[in-house]
């Protein structure tokens, strides 16, 4: 094996998939791209990494709610575009031709073009590590979409698209929570 710079170690275990997080600050909707996400357990608890450098971070702190929208690989260029401009001066729904849909539990909009959306409330912000802990309130999945492959950021400007699904449910049965 060759030595890898420790500063690049995160590219070996980058989380995924890349998601879009929507907020509503009381005046307008916004979208940010987040590539560092985590499922925290079998409950609907998730974590994202973000901070004051993202325009939407203030809305997350103020409203304590958001939507995690899960895009598919056919949306990759839009997702990158969303992540490389600021919502401070850009209506990202308009610029990237995305459709906001009203949620049931939060003011932040769902994104109609995404494969799935999860309405969430903020339950904790771990400032030392820029981690926002979210609790899912409702989830939606669009089975009618032809493209269902999501994608993951490697962290160096490259992405990996999901491939073939491999089932080992029988082997894992004793560890799978009921109802999953």
* pLDDT number for residue 2: 87
Give the model confidence (pLDDT) of 92-121 as tens digits: 999 999 999 999 999 999 999 999 999 999
- Indicate if the pLDDT at residue 10 is higher than 80: no
Report whether 131 contacts 78 (CB < 8 A): no
Report whether 167 contacts 49 (CB < 8 A): no
Report whether 98 contacts 109 (CB < 8 A): no
């Amino acid at each position: 094996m060759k030595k890898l710079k420790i500063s690049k170690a995160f590219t070996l275990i980058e989380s995924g998939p890349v998601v879009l997080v929507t907020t509503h600050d009381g005046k307008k909707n916004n979208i940010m791209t987040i590539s560092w996400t985590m499922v925290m357990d079998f409950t609907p608890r998730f974590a994202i990494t973000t901070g004051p450098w993202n325009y939407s971070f203030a809305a997350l702190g103020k409203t304590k709610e958001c939507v995690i929208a899960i895009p598919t690989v056919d949306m990759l260029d839009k997702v990158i575009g969303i992540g490389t401009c600021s919502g401070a001066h850009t209506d990202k729904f308009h610029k990237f031709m995305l459709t906001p849909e009203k949620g049931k539990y939060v003011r932040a909009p769902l994104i109609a073009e995404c494969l799935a959306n999860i309405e969430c409330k903020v339950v904790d912000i771990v400032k030392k590590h820029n981690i926002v802990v979210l609790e899912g309130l409702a989830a939606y999945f669009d089975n009618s979409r032809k493209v269902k492959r999501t994608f993951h950021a490697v962290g160096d400007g490259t992405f990996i698209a999901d491939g073939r699904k491999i089932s080992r449910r029988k082997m894992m049965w004793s560890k799978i929570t009921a109802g999953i």
